Structure 1
Amino acid sequence: MARPRTALAAAERRRQLADLAAGQFHRRGFHQVSLAGIASSAGLTAPAIYRHFENKQALLAASIDRGLDVVAAAWTARPGASLDDALAELAIAAEERRDLWTLLQREMRHLDQRQREPLEARFNAFAADLRRRVHDARPECDAGQVAVLSTALLAVLSSPSVYSMPARSADRARILGRVAGAVYRADLPHAAAPDPGRLGATPGSAQQQGTQNGRRAELLDTAIALFHDRGYAAVSLDDIGAAVGMAGPSIYYHFPTKGDLLVQAFTRATEQLTTGKRGKLEDLAAQYIELGVRERLVFGVYVLEAINLPPEAARRIKASLDAHVAEWCRALAAERPELSDTDGLVLVHAARAVVHDVVRVGHLHERPTISQELRELVHAVLYTHSPSR
């Protein structure tokens, strides 16, 4: 029996609102989006939206669920297809729902347990099936290597969610699908010896840089760890002071506001990108990998909390990161002059996304060969054969 027309219209309106909200949550973050604003964008009155969603969390959950629908449809679109063909379909889905990865990583934490658990279960089931397919394609790899490869190829596919890229969606999807295929074929090191890239590297600037401002560095490292574990909004200056045994008022001598800690954390990391060997692509990639392994918590905090930066600091830090990306692109163009500027930018963003996600997801950073593995993965991304137009 056909569903009543009013029920179909209501379902379509829910889908419309969920998709509209997804874009706003992606661009502005959960706390900066209001139901009234979404209703206005959809041509509705504020009270009308409550006929479809009881609150903003319910709308966010629906937005994520809709994105996962797109992923599931792409992943199962061609039963019996090769892994390369399945990844090509996922790349198209990644372009269609560029918001999804950011919503999963940054915004889903705003849902309560009842709303969050089914979404986590959906994504985890998809990720497990992806790891199974990668293992089937690379049976010589152990479980840890499969986890690294799977995380890296998901980072490639999710890179449009994080970076604004030029070029038509279809062109980006074609490139990203090809890159994902190159990533799962990457040759990872099997040696169990300590990774030379990790020797002497310890997390946090207080240990890494010795006497750099002493107490100030300790406060900053502690703040980064707390922001990473609890979220920026849930941490107060008093929490940070208590963690280092410092009375609340004393903190203000070093950092007048919590926002100053966030700004300084990202500034410290970006400043490290201006030191060391410059110009050659291999050196730039090695430097970035070393920074990622050493400052993995900062990388994680940036993904989740950069949206909370004060506007002027956000512009300054973004400009610094954009300049570093441009340096990668120039170095890549020097080695691969056949690439268009757009293709080069897509590859650079994908390569850096691999570093971000592998160092901060789960416990992959604890692998003794992780720096070597990242160098192989980044090389696989940057030297992927560019598909013809």
Structure 2
Amino acid sequence: MTEGSPQRRPRNRKQLIVAAAARQFERKGFHDTSVADIAAEVGITGPALYRHFRSKSDLLMAAIELEIDQIERIYTSDTELPALLGEAAKALLRPGRVNTLWERSSPFLESEARSRLAERHLAALMPLRAALLRARSDLTEADADALTWAVHAVMNTARAFERVKVDRERGRRLMVSAATAVAEIPRLLPVAQEPAPHTPVVGVLSFASRREAALAAAVHLFAERGFQAVGMDDIGAAAGISGPTLYHHFPGKSAILSHIILRCLEALNFDLAAALSSTDDPAEALELALASFVRINVAQGDALVALTTGIVHVQEEERAPIRRAQQDYVNEWAVLLAASRKDLSQADTEALVRAAQRVIDAMRHHLPVRKTEQRQPLRRLGHAVLGIEEKFDTADLLV
């Protein structure tokens, strides 16, 4: 091509835009991604992008559709479970694929689009459910549903293996092993019981401290609406205090989020310290750490949402201590897992710990039981992903 000759527009430009949008949304979140960011990654201008998509919301919908397309391709009909899991892991560990965009960003879609895509997403999982039922004739309908979501949650942890640079083939084997162990859980859900009589909720107690009330309100609002959709006035109103009063306690919304995340990590590490100081057996300490993580997740899952997804909204200078505390917590689990499973490398253990924690967090939303009954199924999922057996009584941590 001679210098100055016009460059031809690629025929797949629309697909390139959607792929770039998916990467940007996954990396930075919907609200913190601009159309200019997406256009720059593709190498075009904002006006050129708008020739293909009317808005950022349309781009998000297209990006989520891309993820659902991917699920439809990896879960194919009439494939037996071992082959299905092997091919799914291989596909999901390839660079450039979309991951967890539906789970994290679907709340930002309009209700009609969200409902339509939810139906497509569920339908895309049906071949996996069918393969589970062919492999497990003992499953109840409820267990088949829950295990379908759980196995898919394991498949969605590919980023954990990439993060620690596990060899792709090794990562595939570990993912398949974890997903298979989840699929083989004898009974994930508790035996069906008569529904408890409805007791009307007459109210809940709130913090007397204005500062603590604001933090509790922020946790709920961030989880319900997303960080960017919540303002300081919203937090103040939910906590029953004025905006100016709220600024006496926190300089801004990012500082509130940073405080929530650090407090969550401190709670996890506080319980972990109790587990480590109660035994000299690494396997038992890991059991206790798992029970603690499940208990906190069930009781304070909204805060953990902020922990797992909100750090992109924290000011750059506040991220370092959060990242360090997150890594320290994962490392402690990894050391305990390495002592319990001699077949794993350091990278393997960290990847599996991150995967187990991610699956527990995701499955909290897919267990058709009351919160008081979620802990045992979530612990079983943690055991399966980590590849360890339940040997110790941790009932005291499940109160």
Q: CA deviation at 1:332?
A: 0.9
Q: Distance in 2 between matches of 1:58 and 1:306?
A: 25
Instruction: Say if 1:94 and 1:157, in contact at 8 Å, map to a contact too.
Output: yes
Please give the alpha-carbon distance, in whole angstroms, between the structure 1 residues aligned to 2:373 and 2:115.
Answer: 33
Change (3 A) 1:232 1:35: closer
State the distance in 2 between where 1:245 and 1:83 align. 53
Per-residue CA distance 1:116-147 (angstroms, 9 max, x = gap): 44433321212355345434543434444334
Distance 1:81 1:132, change over 3 A: closer
Check whether the contact 1:106–1:303 (CA below 8 A) recurs between aligned residues.
Answer: no
Decide whether the 8 Å contact of 2:227 with 2:310 is kept in 1: yes
Aligned to 1:19: 19
- The code of the aligned residue for 1:154 comes to H
**Residues 260, 306 of structure 2: 8 Å contact kept:** no
SS across alignment from 1:90:
helix
Quick one: percent identity of the two aligned structures?
Answer: 31
Tell me which residue corresponds to 2:58.
Answer: 58
Report the equivalent of 2:80. Answer: 82
1:177-200: CA deviation from partner (whole Å, max 9, x where unpaired): 221111111133665699xxxxxx
Q: Which one of 355, 375, 382 corresponds to residue 378 of structure 1?
A: 382
Among residues 362, 369, 373, which one is paired with 1:369 in the alignment?
373
Deviation at 1:271, TM superposition (A): 0.3
In structure 2, how many angstroms separate the alpha carbons of the residues matched to 1:355 and 1:365? 15
Between 32-41 and 343-352, the greater mean CA deviation after superposition? 32-41
Q: What whole-Å deviation, never above 9, does each CA across 1:208-249 have from its counterpart, x for those lacking one?
A: xx98x7333222112211211122222222222322332333
Match of residue 317, structure 2, among 300, 312, 315: 312
1: CA distance, partners of 2:338 / 2:56: 45
Name the CA distance, whole Å, in 1 between partners of 2:43 and 2:235: 44
1:262-281 to 2 correspondence within 5 Å?
A: 262-275=257-270, 276-278=274-276, 280-281=285-286
Give 3-state SS (helix, strand or coil) of 2:157's partner: helix
Where does residue 35 of structure 1 map in the other structure? Answer: 35
Root-mean-square deviation (Å): 3.1
1:291 alignment partner, one of 287, 296, 307:
296
Residue from 84, 93, 96 that aligns with 1:95: 93
| Alpha-carbon spacing, 1:132–1:120, altered in 2? closer, same or farther (3 Å) | same
Q: Does 1:348 align with 2:353?
A: yes
Match of 1:123 in 2: 121
Per-residue CA deviations over 1:332-372 (Å, capped at 9, x if unaligned) read: 1111122122222221121111211122x156572543212
- Once the two structures are superposed, residues 95-120 of structure 1 have per-residue CA deviations (whole angstroms, 9 ceiling, x without a partner) of 23676333212233334446544433
Aligned equivalents of 1:93, 1:318: Cα separation in 2: 29
Offset at residue 83 of structure 1 (A): 1.6
Q: Is the 8 A contact 2:233 2:243 kept in 1?
A: yes
Asked if the contact 1:193/1:369 (under 8 Å) is kept, the reply is no
**SS of 2:332 mapped into structure 1:** helix
After superposition, give the CA deviation of every residue in 1:152-183 in whole Å (9 maximum; x if it has no partner).
22221111246723123333223212211111
User: What is the CA–CA distance in structure 1 between the aligned matches of 2:19 and 2:244, rounded to whole Å?
Assistant: 45
Is residue 222 from structure 1 mapped to residue 217 from structure 2 by the alignment?
yes
For 2:182, the equivalent position in structure 1 comes to: 183
Distance 1:323 1:353, change over 3 A: same
Distance 1:38 1:167, change over 3 A: same
Residues paired across the two proteins, number? 361
Relative contact order higher in (CA < 8 Å, ≥ 6 apart):
1
Runs of 5+ unmatched residues, structure 2: 1-8, 194-203, 277-281, 390-399
What is the aligned partner in structure 2 of residue 150 from structure 1? 148
Instruction: Give the aligned residue type for 1:220.
Output: L
Q: Name the CA distance, whole Å, in 2 between partners of 1:265 and 1:85.
A: 42
Residues 75 and 294 from structure 1, CA distance in 2 versus in 1: closer, same or farther, beyond 3 angstroms? Answer: same
Question: Aligned letter for 2:351?
Answer: V
2:247 to 237, 246, 252: 252
TM-score (norm 1): 0.81
Q: CA deviation at 1:87?
A: 1.9
SS in 2 for 1:273: helix
Question: What is the aligned partner in structure 1 of residue 167 from structure 2?
Answer: 168
Bigger CA drift: 115-124 or 221-230? Answer: 115-124
Contact 1:222 1:244 in 2 (8 A): yes
In structure 1, give the amino acid aligned to 2:174: I
Secondary structure in structure 1 of the residue aligned to 2:93: helix
Distance 1:257 1:39, change over 3 A: closer
Q: Is the 8 A contact 2:217 2:238 kept in 1?
A: yes
1:293–1:365 contact (8 Å) kept in structure 2 = no
CA contact (8 A) 1:224 1:298 kept: yes
Paired residues of 2:67 and 2:99 also in contact (CA < 8 A): no
Contact 2:210-2:239 within 8 A present in 1 as well: no
Q: Deviations over 1:295-346 (max 9, x none)?
A: 1111223344332112222221121111111111111111112212222222
CA 37–110 in structure 1, closer or farther in 2 if over 3 Å, else same: same
Q: Residues of 2 paired with 1:17 and 1:169: CA distance?
A: 27
Stretch deviating more after TM superposition (309-318 or 52-61): 52-61
Q: Indicate how the Cα distance of structure 1 residues 117 and 96 shifts in structure 2: closer, same or farther if over 3 A, else same.
A: farther
- Mapped partners of 1:232, 1:292: distance in 2: 19
Is this contact kept in 1: 2:80–2:131, CA < 8 A?
no
